[in-house]
Amino acid sequence: MRLLTQTLCLLLAVALSRAAPTHHDILMADQNGDHHEGKSDDKAHHGANPDRCDGLEFDAIAPDVDGITYFFKGDHLWKGYTGPAVLSNGIFKELDDYHNLGHVDAAFRMHNGDDPKDHDHLFLFLNNKVFKYYNHSLEAGYPKEIQDVFPGIPDHLDAAVECPKKECTEETVIFFKGDDLYYYGMSSKTVKQKKWPLLPHCTSAYRWLERYYCFHGHNFTRFHPLTGDVEPQYPKDARNYFMRCENFGHGRDYVDCNTTAHLDAVTSDDKGKAYAFRGKLYLRLDSQRDGWHAFPISSYWKEVDSNVDAVFFYDDKLYIIKGDVVYIYKTEAHYTLVEGYPKPLKEELGIEGPVDSAFVCVGENTVHIIQGSNMKDVDLSATPRSVTKEIPIPYFKIDAASCGPDGVRVYVGTNYYQYANPMIMAAGKIKSPTYKVPQEMLGCRN
């Protein structure tokens, strides 16, 4: 009996010694990437690719220098709004080299930094470290302690987002941790701590087209970067907006494509941002890398709401013509309607409505207004304004027209035609090739 008991004790001791790692085992496993807080083993580190359409909660979101948005989750990430997950260390290999783990706590791209050394750089935060990348290459000397780069900002962050000085008081990075926010001024190097009780706990944050989003669970909430005020009708499901998933999508914000599809108006501002209007939507293009994105017209121009006739920029103001009236908005104040508007089109531009289109070429003071088969020129620098020239054009009816660096574009149905300048377009002596209007520009589902 004693022998049996001794044998059982010996077997139990051997089993326990194999099951319980020693301090040395843990240390070596951590150095070899086999152990890390939150990860049970290396298999979990390189497990099956997650599917964001399952309703995941992202760890971090940020665009790179090429405008491709990265969605981080665990040791994986997604590039853009479509496609499968890939291991993050395949793109940012140093994440594994230094931490044996691809998990990212927070991320942001410094797109508008005052310091050219920061401009268009991507910052990734892991535990107490910050990694600084440009074009996927780690900057020399990084990773660094967060406190060395952003003094006063805590470790183990939840989220981060850039706020340019036109939208915040100075070039700022907003950091999130728990219920606290930290405003870090890039020029002043000061930190202001705040609490926003109306905002959910953000596990990632994202600035997109001058809008700010807090992601929590599989939802997101739009917020104001200075006050923390939450926009109405939120939260919303991220799968309807920031990725393409089966049985999801904000299709109600799009219209069907057909042979009668057309644009109501097209224009671009001095920064090269293009805007296309159709029905209740406007489509915006900041750059080709970002693509066209649809929004309700009422989200910026609630007084107009829908069905505009013509739109053009002049003197840092946006003119929207609808029927017999014109609305003028200040562009530097997030499109605030100028006091006293709308006004009759006759009073503002000296013509009777309605109009088919209107456009102003960069550096000019003349708005070219098209009505039927005639183009009327109005000098915007004159007081009062009136028609200075009227000439026929080789079109019976156009839907929209715009003028940009490539010249004049005339939109008819799902086609457009391009001319070097307004006079060549009006003369009609040089036939323009026919180009197809992109479906995404029409607000159509692709």
Mean pLDDT for the stretch of residues 110-120:
75
In angstroms, the CA 202 to CA 186 distance is 22
pLDDT of residue 436 exceeding 50, the answer is yes
Distance CA 121, CA 192 (A): 23
- Residue 271 is predicted with a pLDDT of 73
Q: How far apart are CA 196 and CA 228, in angstroms?
A: 6
The Cα 389–Cα 49 span in angstroms is 64
Give residue for tokens 């190097």.
189
Question: Could you please report the per-residue DSSP string of 45-90?
Answer: HT-SPP-GGGTPPPSEEEE-TTS-EEEEETTEEEESSSS--EEGGG
Structure-token match 């309700």, residue found: 296
CB-hemisphere CA count at 13 Å for 41?
2
Kindly report, residue by residue over 164-197, the tens digit of the pLDDT: 988 898 999 999 999 999 999 999 999 999 999 9
pLDDT of residue 285: 76
Nearest to 238 by CA among 208, 260, 264, 259: 208
Among 379, 375, 396, 380, residue whose Cα is nearest residue 388: 379
The two tokens of residue 418 are: 């391009």
Q: How confident is the model at residue 288 (pLDDT cuts 50, 70, 90)?
A: low
Mean pLDDT of all residues in the chain? Answer: 82
Write down the domain spans for the chain. 42-249, 252-442
Residue the block writes with tokens 């080299």: 97
pLDDT exceeding 90 applies to what percent of the chain? 52
| Beta bridge mates, 216 | 219
d(CA 243, CA 235): 16
Q: Would you give the DSSP letter of residue 421?
A: S
Strand-strand pairing, 325-330 and 343-344: antiparallel
Helices (H) and strands (E) in the chain, counts: 7, 34
| Collapsed DSSP state (helix, strand, coil) of residue 213 | strand
pLDDT of 42 reads: 37
For 284-329, give the DSSP string: EES-TTT-EEEEEGGGT-TTT-S--SEEEEETTEEEEEETTEEEEE
pLDDT of residue 99: 55
> Residues of the chain with pLDDT > 70: what percent?
81
Residues 6 or more apart whose Cβ sits within 8 Å of residue 439: 257, 446
Class (C level, CATH) for 252-442 = mainly beta
* Cis-peptide into 344, omega within 30 deg: no
Give pLDDT tens digits for 17-68: 333 333 333 223 333 333 333 333 333 445 568 899 998 899 999 988 877 8
User: Rounded to 5 degrees, what are φ and ψ at 211?
Assistant: -115, 150
Please check whether the two domains, 42-249 and 252-442, share a CATH topology. Answer: yes
Residue with tokens 């780690």: 138
Task: Find the length of the chain.
Answer: 446
68-82, 182-196, 277-291, 321-335: lowest mean pLDDT where? 277-291
Of 82 and 255, the structure prediction assigns the larger pLDDT to: 82
Strand partners, 161: 174
CA-CA distance, 403 to 416, in Å (whole number)? Answer: 13
Residue 258 banded pLDDT, cuts 50, 70, 90:
low
Cβ atoms of 323 and 315 closer than 8 Å: no
User: Which of these CATH numbers, 3.90.550.10, 3.30.590.20, 2.110.10.10, 1.10.10.10, describes 42-249?
Assistant: 2.110.10.10
**Bond from prior residue into 84 cis (ω within 30 degrees of 0):** no
Residue 380: pLDDT over 90? yes
Q: Positive or negative CA dihedral for 64, 70, 74, 76?
A: negative
The mean per-residue pLDDT over the stretch 245-262 comes to: 62
